[in-house]
């Protein structure tokens, strides 16, 4: 379940993009969880047509997923279509500009134009993508084949994927095995079911198999340019390093021939790229060499990542790392010894670990460090230097510490220490427990601790709150500007204000991803 | 609380607070000088062990009383809390070549190129009123005085 301000921010995004009506339906789903159409109409008090149209918009834009949940067994089993809001996809809408920048940098202008269409419209068939591309370049001839090739580049980079099934059937948890957990012990599978949210289960059940996800092949699709191309390489697997499930391919191949395939942006790949980018930024202080080497390692191991939030990369030998480094302009002149010494720098603190003549990127260590830095910078700015030191002492200890012990560690007056700690506790940055000492004299000790899990959730909620505030303030400033008569000073001011607010939004969104997506 | 003791006795450190206290109060100046001495011993991005710090403090003669290894360790650990030093374990290679593998040592932190906090660089990140701020409330982003100051620099 998303936090209080996470929900408010999500509703704000939907309101800005699609209006109040659609936002009302979305908000109802976000607050109440999955609902049937009947209940959605009842709770929103909108007309059935309004609710249906809103749902269509939300599904089209990948913000809601329909699913059928089995309830009961045997003859009494019921199949109800319910709708669930996809919180993560809604938040991704606020970072479309980042996704566009990635496509533009990696694949160029032509791919960017096609990809823009997918973001604008949510999901499109290949025919619609081609038509849109042709109609947007009036006066110049573009062959559908060329557009298809551009689309294949997007597919090859995994920036686009097949849309999920419209109404997957979700069995009750004790009967269901997650489609993606095809291996592993039964206890591991059951544990996966328990820790997954309903949103994750629905998304996994709806998702096409890995074999089909980036596959562009059906008779319907290949007729886009007017005929079959026997040399069409698109019928071969795109993304060859993905696991190939022959059984599923046979089953699904038949079904897809009868449907027109819809395509959408693959948010997972963009979040992966942004995660890698964040890791690089957080080692920049170690110098250029470390940045080049880490970038090369990320590039080399990216395709082996089967999910975004992996703890460690695939192992790479020193030779493989060196070969990858010298492929790029930045690393072309790096010597083997320099690569090795950069790996040593990355090893302390251990962000890259050496293991059996191989090197592994420790994503968890890099992300943990980045998260700690972010929270500590808030504590420093908001509560001052002494609170910052105490917070760090507690954070590093990882367990309860008594007030005097904290004072000794940070060289602060014992009589003044409780006041500082109390302020942090009041604002939910610290956890506090009281210990009664019974003996000759009764006394009470106060014990303090940084409860990371709770604090990280609290900080994330504050970040969503701040993101909402930035957005509201920007809208307010632009509204105010329209009402004025536009003197030159006012124009200069609004340009400056926009730059400040939009830059802050981009930077804050990086921090939100650090706590929510990475 | 004041304690009285015969002049021929020395009070125990439990009562006086030890080397860090003078007249019952924390001797911040003395602690500051010792910390600065420790930091000077570790040039940027190099590595030092606890024994190195002990030796450096002894040679500097900053302290009139002899400080134990435990006391120097307390100082060095407080520099870690200050984010001036980073506590690491020796890998035995590179800059750790002369230090046994696994031994705890300390590196100076280069704050110059660090990524600055995103939340801390906007008004909301440091706002004492964030818990009562709402979109259309008395405290709101549209009317926020901290935003006014931030945007009208």
Q: How confident is the model at residue A255 (pLDDT cuts 50, 70, 90)?
A: very low
Q: Chain B residue closest to A351 (CA)?
A: B88
> Which pairs count as long-range contacts for A441-450, CB under 8 Å and 24+ apart, including other chains?
A445/A402, A445/A403, A446/A402, A446/A403, A446/A418, A446/A421, A447/A400, A447/A401, A447/A402, A448/A394, A448/A400, A448/A401, A448/A402, A448/A403, A448/A406, A448/A421, A449/A394, A449/A399, A449/A400, A449/A401, A450/A391, A450/A394, A450/A395, A450/A398
What number of C-beta contacts closer than 8 Å exist between A and B?
Answer: 131
The pLDDT score that the predictor gives to residue A54 is: 97
Q: List, in sequence order, every residue forming a beta bridge with A70; answer none if it has no partner.
A: A79
In sequence order, what are the residues at sequence separation of 6 or more whose Cβ sits closer than 8 angstroms to the Cβ of residue A212? A162, A248, A249, A252, A256
Has residue B63 got a pLDDT over 80? no
The domain ranges of chain A are 268-361, 367-450, 453-516
Q: How far apart are CA A291 and CA A331, in angstroms?
A: 10
Has residue A221 got a pLDDT over 60? no
- Reference A162, options A209, A93, A228; nearest CA is A209
The pLDDT score that the predictor gives to residue A91 is: 97
Q: How confident is the model at residue B39 (pLDDT cuts 50, 70, 90)?
A: confident
Q: Are A308 and A272 contacting, i.e. CB atoms less than 8 angstroms apart?
A: yes
CA angle A469, A473, A475 (to 5 degrees): 120
Looking at per-residue pLDDT, the higher value among A222 and A80 belongs to A80
DSSP state of B136: T
The residue-averaged pLDDT of A204-211 equals 89
User: Considering Cα of A113, then A115, then A118, then A119, what sign does the dihedral take?
Assistant: negative
User: Considering Cα of A77, then A79, then A80, then A82, what sign does the dihedral take?
Assistant: positive
Has residue A370 got a pLDDT over 60? yes
Q: How confident is the model at residue A233 (pLDDT cuts 50, 70, 90)?
A: very low
CB within 8 Å: B133 and A469: yes
Q: Chain B residue closest to A414 (CA)?
A: B26
The closest CB to that of A463, out of B78, B119, B147, belongs to B119
CB within 8 Å: A378 and B126: yes
Domain A268-361 class in CATH: mainly alpha
CATH architecture of A367-450: Orthogonal Bundle (1.10)
Q: Are A461 and A5 contacting, i.e. CB atoms less than 8 angstroms apart?
A: yes
ipTM (interface pTM) = 0.86
B-chain residues within 8 Å CB-CB of A448? none
User: Considering Cα of A333, then A339, then A341, then A346, what sign does the dihedral take?
Assistant: positive
Percent of chain A with pLDDT over 90: 64
- Reference A64, options A56, A52, A75; nearest CA is A56
The pLDDT score that the predictor gives to residue A196 is: 67
pLDDT digits (tens, 9 = 90+) for A385-415: 999 999 999 999 999 999 999 998 999 988 8
Q: How many helices (H) and strands (E) does chain A have?
A: 24, 13
CA angle A95, A468, A164 (to 5 degrees): 40
Which two tokens mark A448? 């303090």
Q: How far apart are CA B83 and CA B109, in angstroms?
A: 7
- Reference A99, options A296, A264, A340; nearest CA is A264
Order the strands of the A401-402 sheet from edge to edge: A401-402, A443-449, A431-437
Q: How far apart are CA B25 and CA A414, in angstroms?
A: 9
Q: What domains, with CATH codes, occur in chain B?
A: 13-108 (1.10.10.10), 118-152 (no CATH)
The pLDDT score that the predictor gives to residue B44 is: 59
The residue-averaged pLDDT of A116-141 equals 87
Maximum mean pLDDT: which of A59-73, A94-108, A193-207, B90-104:
A94-108
Tokens 């935003």 belong to: B147
The residue-averaged pLDDT of A323-332 equals 91
Looking at per-residue pLDDT, the higher value among A418 and A218 belongs to A418
Report whether the peptide linkage leading into residue A17 is cis, meaning its omega lies within 30 degrees of zero. no
The closest CB to that of B118, out of A284, A345, A507, belongs to A507
In whole numbers, what is the pLDDT of chain A averaged over residues? 86
Percent of chain A with pLDDT over 70: 84
DSSP state of A186: H
The residue-averaged pLDDT of A319-337 equals 92
Tokens 């303030």 belong to: A473
CB within 8 Å: B120 and A381: yes
A-chain residues within 8 Å CB-CB of B145? none
pLDDT digits (tens, 9 = 90+) for A27-42: 999 999 999 999 999 9
Looking at per-residue pLDDT, the higher value among A173 and A75 belongs to A173
pLDDT digits (tens, 9 = 90+) for A430-480: 999 998 888 777 788 899 999 999 999 999 999 999 999 999 999 999 988
The pLDDT score that the predictor gives to residue A438 is: 80
Q: How far apart are CA B30 and CA B63, in angstroms?
A: 8
Q: List, in sequence order, every residue forming a beta bridge with B87; answer none if it has no partner.
A: B106
Helix (H, G, I), strand (E, B) or coil at B43: coil
Helix (H, G, I), strand (E, B) or coil at A447: strand
pTM exceeding 0.90: no
Q: How confident is the model at residue B12 (pLDDT cuts 50, 70, 90)?
A: low
CB within 8 Å: A285 and B151: no
Q: How far apart are CA A29 and CA B140, in angstroms?
A: 26
CATH fold match for the domains A268-361 and A367-450: yes
Which of A369, A466, A474, A505 should one mutate to test binding to chain B, selecting the residue with the greatest count of B CBs within 10 A? A466
The closest CB to that of A510, out of B25, B118, B133, belongs to B118
Q: Are A444 and A435 contacting, i.e. CB atoms less than 8 angstroms apart?
A: yes
Q: Which of A118-122, A235-239, B110-114 has the lowest mean pLDDT?
A: A235-239
Order the strands of the A352-355 sheet from edge to edge: A316-317, A358-361, A352-355
Q: How confident is the model at residue A252 (pLDDT cuts 50, 70, 90)?
A: low
């Amino acid at each position: 379940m998303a936090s209080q301000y996470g929900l408010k921010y999500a509703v704000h995004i939907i309101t800005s993009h699609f209006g109040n009506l659609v936002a009302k339906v979305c908000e109802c789903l976000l607050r109440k969880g999955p609902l049937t159409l009947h209940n959605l109409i009842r709770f929103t008090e909108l007309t059935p047509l309004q609710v249906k149209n809103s749902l269509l918009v939300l599904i089209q834009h990948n913000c809601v997923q329909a699913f059928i949940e089995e309830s009961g067994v045997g003859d009494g089993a019921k199949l109800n279509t319910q709708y669930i809001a996809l919180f993560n996809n809604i938040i991704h809408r606020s970072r479309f500009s980042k996704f566009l920048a990635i496509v533009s940098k990696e694949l160029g202008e032509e791919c960017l134009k096609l990809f823009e269409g997918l973001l604008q419209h949510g999901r499109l068939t290949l025919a619609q993508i081609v038509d849109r591309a042709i109609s947007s370049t009036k006066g110049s001839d573009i062959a559908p084949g060329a557009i298809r090739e551009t689309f294949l580049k997007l597919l090859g980079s995994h920036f686009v994927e097949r849309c999920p099934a419209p109404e997957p059937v979700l069995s009750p948890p004790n009967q269901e095995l997650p489609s993606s957990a095809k291996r592993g012990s039964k206890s591991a599978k059951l544990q996966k079911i328990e820790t997954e949210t309903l949103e994750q289960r629905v998304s996994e059940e709806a998702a096409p198999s890995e074999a089909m996800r980036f596959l562009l092949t059906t008779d319907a699709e290949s007729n886009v340019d007017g005929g079959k191309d026997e040399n069409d390489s698109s019928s071969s697997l795109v993304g060859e390093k993905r696991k190939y499930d022959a059984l599923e391919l046979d089953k699904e191949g038949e079904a897809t021939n009868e449907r027109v395939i819809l395509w959408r942006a693959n948010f997972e790949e963009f979040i992966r790229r942004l995660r890698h980018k964040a890791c690089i930024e957080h080692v920049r202080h170690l110098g250029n060499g470390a940045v080049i080497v880490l970038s090369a390692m990320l590039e080399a191991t990216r395709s082996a990542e089967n999910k975004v939030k992996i703890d460690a990369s695939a192992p790479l030998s020193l030779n493989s790392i060196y070969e990858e480094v010298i492929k790029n302009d930045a690393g072309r002149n790096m010597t083997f010894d320099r690569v090795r010494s950069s790996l040593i720098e990355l090893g302390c603190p251990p962000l890259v670990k050496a293991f059996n003549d191989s090197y592994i990127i420790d994503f968890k260590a890099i992300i943990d460090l980045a998260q700690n830095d972010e929270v500590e910078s808030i504590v420093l700015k908001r509560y001052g230097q002494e609170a910052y030191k105490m917070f760090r002492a507690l954070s590093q200890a990882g367990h309860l510490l008594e007030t005097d012990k904290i004072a000794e560690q940070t060289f602060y007056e014992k009589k003044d220490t409780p006041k500082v700690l109390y302020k942090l506790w009041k604002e939910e940055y610290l956890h506090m427990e009281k210990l009664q000492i019974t003996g000759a004299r009764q006394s009470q000790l106060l014990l303090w601790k940084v409860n990371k899990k709770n604090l990280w959730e609290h900080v994330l909620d504050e970040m969503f709150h701040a993101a909402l505030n930035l957005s509201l303030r920007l809208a307010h400033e632009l509204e105010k500007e329209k009402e004025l008569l536009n003197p030159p000073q006012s124009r200069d001011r609004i340009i400056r204000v926009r730059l400040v607010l939009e830059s802050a939004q981009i930077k804050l969104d990086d921090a939100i991803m650090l706590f929510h997506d990475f | 609380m004041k304690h009285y003791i015969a002049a021929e006795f020395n009070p125990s450190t439990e009562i006086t607070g030890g080397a860090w206290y003078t007249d019952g109060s924390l001797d911040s100046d003395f602690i500051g000088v010792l910390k600065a001495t420790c930091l000077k011993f570790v040039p940027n991005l190099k590595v030092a062990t606890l024994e190195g710090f002990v030796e450096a403090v002894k040679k500097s003669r900053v302290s009139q009383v002899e400080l134990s290894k435990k006391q120097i360790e307390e100082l060095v650990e407080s520099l870690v809390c200050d984010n001036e030093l980073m506590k690491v374990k020796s890998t035995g290679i590179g800059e750790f070549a002369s230090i046994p593998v696994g031994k705890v040592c300390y590196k100076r932190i280069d704050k110059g190129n660090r990524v600055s906090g995103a939340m801390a660089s906007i008004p909301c990140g440091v706002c004492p009123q964030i818990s009562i701020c709402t979109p259309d409330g008395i405290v709101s982003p549209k009317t926020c005085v901290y935003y006014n100051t931030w945007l009208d620099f």
